[in-house]
Chains A and B, each alone.
Chain A
Amino acid sequence: MSGFAKSSIARKVVMALSGLFLVIFLALHVTINFTSVLSPDTFNAWSHFMGYNLLVQYLMQPILVAGVVVHFVMGIALEIQNRQARSIRYARYNGGANAPWVSRNMIITGLVVLAFLGLHMYDFWAHEMVYKYLEANPEDPTRYYGETVEKFHPIWRTGLYVVAFVLLALHLWHGFASSFQTMGINNKYSAAIRSFTRLYAIVVPLLFIIVALYHHFNPITH
């Protein structure tokens, strides 16, 4: 197994599996987010559950963080190795003639999503840490909807979220389908898999965008 751990295929499999894990997480995330558009009470209930359930906080959250870290660290490491594999670049490289832009620029879309994650963690995760542990505020299952809507009040933040979700869509457009190829799945079902992954790549980021825009244009009036 030591040879396997060092192999290029193993590294690709790690990228594929961590990516698929994050894809599943995104589906859960967008489902909960979208309840904020449909029912503030439901959104508050789900958010409170995710924020205080011990299984979520002490098992699922560390696994999620590990999945994110592994995906990004491995992605950056592979990009460095790939660049080293062609130390002298072509003077003319017509990449668009044989491969779509999204597949050739996963590092760009990925780094934008990573930068967005920094903002997202600052906005929500850091806020939760301060609220729960530094200020030691009591549990308030009704606060989440108002706090979320408030976050999307500034146009700059809503704009950054929309741009990040467009880049996430581009990342998923190639990455989701690519993970199946890496896992060795390329058969008569591949066309259906590709259609599903591309539909997912459009629908999930679009729902995130709808949530951000909905709350920006429907602020809570005090």
Chain B
Amino acid sequence: MKLLLKIWRQQNASSKGKFVDYPISGIEGDMSFLEMLDVLNQQLIDKGEEPVVFDHDCREGICGTCSLQINGEPHGPDRLITTCQLHMRMFKDGDTIVIEPFRAKAFPVIKDLMVDRSAFDRIQQAGGYISVNTSGNTVDANTIPIEKTKADDAFNAAACIGCGACVAACKNASAMLFTSAKVSQFALLPQGRVEATQRVLSMVRQMDLEGFGNCTNTGACEVECPKGISLENIARMNREYLMASVKG
């Protein structure tokens, strides 16, 4: 397969980036997208050029490290996958592929296609946890009976890997789906209810401080989420936030 890659190259956060064209050939349909970029980078290294910087780690759709806006969609044209799970068979011989970093003011570019998603870490640190005494008297979580549907909903929310595709897909660069998943995974469980009021207030405050946009319920985040996180979580977070605000 022969392809033309239009890749965003940017030296650092403060420099001005630009697209650079890279023709590439010998790409197999069974290769993953990141393997295709590995091939490109090896060719660049062999020519003495600087390889393209992009994020990756587990390469099996678990860690949420890989990103990339591919032909206008985060994680590319396939559904319920991360970029590392995207296969080149999704493209045709002769295609032009535009590869950009996730774009959001809250996700500044570090270099080329790598962005700083530590805004998500700070939202999580603001309240995405439960306070547990770990002195040795901690009760096993499984001893508390939990309604199956609630346990399933909490598990589904916890499936969020924090990749940032929701922000990248949203026309407003909103982080509501991520934040709501992290609020929901605790709000649905008895252990999480103890600090639920302060959690949602703190996490939403941090989300706003990071400079993400406002949710306008387009649903793009849900469609592009590699883990299928539902918009129900956003509605739940809105409820939690309104109730928490009334409680003070």
Contacts and interface: CB of A to CB of B under 8 A. Distances in A.
Contacts of A89: 103
A90 B103 contact: yes
Interface residues of B, number: 49
Contacts of B213: 81-82, 84-86
Contact of A82 (B172, B217, B224, B239): B172
B171 A104 contact: yes
A103 interface: yes
Given A9-B204, A90-B72, A103 B218 contact: yes
Contacts of A99: 171, 218-220, 223
Contacts of A65: none
A182 B220 contact: no
Contacts of A138: none
B98 A6 contact: no
Contacts of B237: 9
Contacts of B239: 184
A91 B19 contact: yes
Interface of A: 1, 3-4, 6-13, 78, 81-82, 84-95, 97-100, 103-104, 106, 174, 178, 181-187
27 contacts: A3-B201, A6-B208, A7-B204, A8-B176, A8-B204, A8-B208, A8-B212, A9-B237, A13-B242, A78-B216, A85-B104, A85-B172, A85-B174, A85-B211, A86-B213, A88-B103, A90-B100, A90-B103, A92-B71, A92-B98, A92-B100, A95-B171, A98-B218, A99-B171, A103-B217, A182-B215, A184-B236
Interface in B180-238: 201, 204-205, 207-208, 211-220, 223-224, 231-232, 234-238
Given A85-B105, A89-B103, A90-B100, A9 B171 contact: no
Contacts of A8: 174, 176, 204, 207-208, 212, 214-215
Given A85-B105, A90-B72, A91-B19, A98 B219 contact: yes
A6 B212 CA distance: 14
B207 A181 contact: no
Given A8-B208, A183-B238, 10 more contacts: A3-B205, A8-B176, A8-B212, A9-B238, A81-B213, A82-B172, A85-B174, A95-B220, A98-B218, A99-B219
Residue in B69, B72, B106 with the greatest tally of chain A CB atoms within 10 Å: B72
Contacts of B204: 7-9
B83 to A, nearest CB: 15
Given A86-B104, A99-B218, A91 B98 contact: yes
B245 interface: yes
Given A91-B98, A94-B71, A78 B19 contact: no
A104 B174 CA distance: 13
Closest 7 CB pairs of A and B: A94-B72, A184-B239, A85-B213, A186-B235, A82-B172, A98-B223, A99-B218
A174 B214 CA distance: 16
A84 to B, nearest CB: 7
Nearest to A95: B171
A2 B116 CA distance: 30
